[in-house]
């Protein structure tokens, strides 16, 4: 059993690609409904839940820059806009499930979404509302993993939970290497030194500095989020 009893406030990082559920459309209603159920279970445990969502199901800034020749700064801003679209979709799904949700963006577009203000975000969390952070960090050259680490640090989260399409961190790509070893726990220094690509190095370095534990787990396994919050051995725990 892991000690997760102190995880009063968590930040959940969801990739944009996860929202389409492998379909050709940007969103999958079953995935959105599943995410709402997972968040509801965490709230029922009296946890405060913040979310950072990526934009890769719509636009990946780095790919636009490398594959299509779009200026990197422009491409990254396009990616940030994609996270706002995803944030709106996720907010709608959570609200439809009866979960009071607020969406804040690092990019200023007040007709569409409220601006990111730390004090308001913390107040919403303390009032039992879910807060979704969109727009990345608001700056180019930084990933949404870094945005997740930054927001988690700013709001005083006790843990960062990264939902992925694999059930933890492996010594190498399990899709390519049948002998890849899955770690139950792993020091962040090892993840950085071995370049395991769990999160980008900037995000991991910030989590290490802030002594913020990171759980990596499989998104599509129902009940995993609640299991982690109960201290069960799900996924991989990156330690500081």
Q: Is 155 annotated as a binding residue?
A: no
Give the per-residue pLDDT at 9.
Answer: 97
Annotated binding residue 173: yes
71 falls within a domain: yes
- Whether residue 4 is contained in a domain is answered as no
Range of the structural domain that residue 76 is part of: 9-239
- Is the pLDDT at 5 greater than 80? The verdict is no
Helices 61-68, 72-96: axis angle to 10 degrees equals: 140
Residue 177 CA, distance from chain mean position: 26
Q: Which pLDDT score, from 0 to 100, does residue 151 have?
A: 98
Q: Is 139 annotated as contributing to ligand binding?
A: yes
Q: Which residues lie closer than 8 Å to 156 by C-beta, 6 or more apart?
A: 9, 122
Is 171 or 116 the better-scoring residue by pLDDT?
116
Is 233 assigned a ligand-binding role in the annotation?
Answer: no
Residue 1 pLDDT exceeds 60 = no
Tell me if 27 is assigned to a ligand binding site: no
* Residue 144 annotated as binding site: yes
Residue-level pLDDT at 82: 95
Residue 144 sits in a domain whose CATH number is 3.40.1160.10
Q: Is 133 annotated as a binding residue?
A: no
Total domains, the chain: 1
In a domain, 104, yes or no: yes
187 is in an annotated binding site: no
Quick: pLDDT tens for 19-47.
887 777 888 888 999 999 999 999 999 99
CB 39 within 8 A of CB 78: no
User: Is residue 170's pLDDT more than 60?
Assistant: yes
Residue 2: pLDDT band (50, 70, 90) is low
138 is in an annotated binding site: yes
For a pLDDT cut of 70, what percent of the chain falls above it?
98
The string of pLDDT tens digits covering residues 132-157 is 999 999 999 999 999 999 999 999 99
Tokens (6 digits) for 133: 């952070």
Ligand-binding annotation for 171, yes or no, is no
Answer whether residue 230 is part of any domain. yes
- How do beta strands 214-218 and 236-239 pair? antiparallel
162 is in an annotated binding site: no
Is residue 48 domain-resident? yes
The verdict on whether residue 2 carries a ligand-binding annotation is no
Q: How many CA atoms lie within 13 A of 202 on its CB side?
A: 10
Q: Is 142 annotated as ligand-binding?
A: yes
Quick check: is 142 in a domain? yes
pLDDT number for residue 3: 67
Residue 88 among known ligand-binding residues: no
């Amino acid at each position: 059993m892991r000690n997760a009893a102190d995880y009063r406030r968590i930040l959940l990082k969801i990739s944009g690609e996860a929202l389409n559920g492998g379909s050709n459309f940007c969103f999958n209603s079953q995935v959105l409904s599943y995410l709402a159920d997972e968040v509801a279970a965490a709230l029922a445990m009296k946890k405060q839940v913040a979310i950072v969502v990526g934009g890769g199901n719509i636009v990946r800034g780095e790919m636009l820059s490398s594959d299509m020749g779009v200026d990197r700064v422009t491409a990254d801003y396009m990616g940030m806009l994609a996270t706002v679209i995803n944030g709106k979709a996720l907010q709608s799904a959570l609200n439809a499930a009866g979960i009071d949700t607020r969406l804040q963006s690092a990019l200023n577009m007040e007709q569409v979404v409220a601006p990111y203000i730390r004090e308001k975000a913390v107040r919403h969390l303390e009032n039992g509302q879910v807060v979704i952070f969109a727009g990345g960090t608001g700056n180019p050259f930084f990933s949404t993993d870094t945005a997740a680490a930054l927001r988690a640090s700013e709001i005083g989260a006790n843990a960062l939970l990264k939902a992925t399409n694999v059930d933890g961190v492996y010594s190498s790509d399990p899709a390519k290497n049948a002998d890849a070893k899955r770690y139950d726990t792993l020091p962040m220094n090892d993840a950085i030194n071995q370049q395991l690509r769990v999160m980008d190095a900037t995000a991991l370095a910030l989590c290490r500095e802030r002594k913020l534990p990171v759980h990596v787990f499989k998104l599509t396994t129902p009940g995993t989020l609640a299991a982690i919050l109960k201290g069960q051995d799900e996924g991989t725990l990156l330690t500081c």
